[in-house]
Chain A
Amino acid sequence: DTGVSQNPRHKITKRGQNVTFRCDPISEHNRLYWYRQTLGQGPEFLTYFQNEAQLEKSRLLSDRFSAERPKGSFSTLEIQRTEQGDSAMYLCASRFGKGTEAFFGQGTRLTVV
């Protein structure tokens, strides 16, 4: 399967713990995006990479959130000191460049208890 891959698919964690999610984009795609989707809402943009450079961060991305894409391939999203409000689906998407559509992964569903 050459689509966008996200791991894990589900994560249950206790409040205050740190969690890390991984996204493997489609191999030739240089742009990678993270979105958060809460129940009954559309996805909300969190951050965006072009190759290894993080070019944009939403105000939604508090200082407890950090994202990396160290070699311009896979990306990780870490949430420190999780809160119940962090419970959501975290979606990753990738695309090749200007004028192309984004392809989404299946998402990681985070539940903070």
Chain B
Amino acid sequence: AQSVTQPDIHITVSEGASLELRCNYSYGATPYLFWYVQSPGQGLQLLLKYFSGDTLVQGIKGFEAEFKRSQSSFNLRKPSVHWSDAAEYFCAVGAYSGGGADGLTFGKGTHLIIQP
């Protein structure tokens, strides 16, 4: 069965500093990988996705993530965070084939706190 681990429950970063959120996945085939962001009481917004090809993917709001198959990781990075980046971040893995087993498996999330 597929699984996602986000080892950091909370991360505190100063505004303007760089950010890296960790994500490790377990999946038997080629995965689809995603990072979503959730503000309090809101739904999920897609930041970026990896399906195939270039292992460094660019997303919205200045985020990027790198797929490393050998490490089963898909870490999210941003060179300089803004106070508006404070939110909950979720890594997710999905089936490549898009067949019957089609839902996403999410990690438990990392809560990002931005210090002024």
Q: A42-B109, A101-B46, A101-B49 known; A109 and B41 CB under 8 Å?
A: yes
**Interface residues in B9-44 (C-beta closer than 8 Å to A):** 34, 36, 41-44
- Asked whether any CB of chain A lies closer than 8 Å to the CB of B97, the reply is yes
Judge if B106 is at the interface, Cβ distance under 8 Å. Answer: yes
Q: How far is the CB of A75 from chain B (nearest CB, A)?
A: 14
Task: Give Cα A51–Cα B11 distance, bound, in whole angstroms.
Answer: 40
B102 interfacial by beta-carbon distance below 8 Å? yes
Interface residue B101 (Cβ < 8 Å from any Cβ of A): yes
B44 touching A43, Cβ below 8 Å: yes
Interface positions, chain B 63-116, Cβ under 8 Å from A, are 90, 92, 94, 97-98, 100-109
State whether B105 touches A45 (Cβ < 8 A): yes
| A residues in contact with B105, CB < 8 Å | 45
**Given the contacts A97-B98, A105-B43, A41 and B103 also touching, CB distance less than 8 Å:** no
Contact indicator B44/A48 (Cβ below 8 Å): no
The distance from the CB of A100 to the nearest CB of chain B, in whole angstroms, is: 8
Question: By the criterion CB–CB under 8 Å, are B109 and A106 in contact?
Answer: no
Name the residue in A6, A58, A102 with the highest tally of chain B Cβ atoms < 10 Å from its Cβ: A102
Neighbouring A residues of B98 by C-beta, 8 Å = 97-99
Q: Is A67 part of the contact surface with B, judged by Cβ < 8 Å? A: no
Q: Is the CB of A33 within 8 A of B103?
A: yes
Interface centre among B43, B94, B100, B107 (most CB of A within 10 A): B43
Among B34, B104, B105, residue most surrounded by chain A Cβ atoms (within 10 Å): B104
For B90, what are the chain A residues with a Cβ–Cβ distance below 8 Å?
A: 42-43
Residues of A that sit less than 8 Å from B by CB: 4, 6, 31, 33, 35, 40-45, 48, 50, 55-56, 58, 91, 93, 97-99, 101-107, 109
A-B contact pairs, 16 of them (CB 8 A): A31-B102, A40-B108, A41-B108, A41-B109, A42-B107, A43-B104, A44-B106, A45-B103, A55-B100, A56-B100, A56-B102, A93-B104, A99-B98, A102-B46, A102-B104, A105-B43
A50-B102, A56-B102 provided; 20 other pairs, C-beta below 8 A? Answer: A4-B43, A42-B4, A42-B90, A42-B92, A42-B107, A42-B108, A42-B109, A43-B90, A43-B106, A45-B103, A55-B102, A56-B101, A56-B103, A93-B44, A98-B97, A99-B98, A101-B49, A102-B94, A105-B43, A107-B42
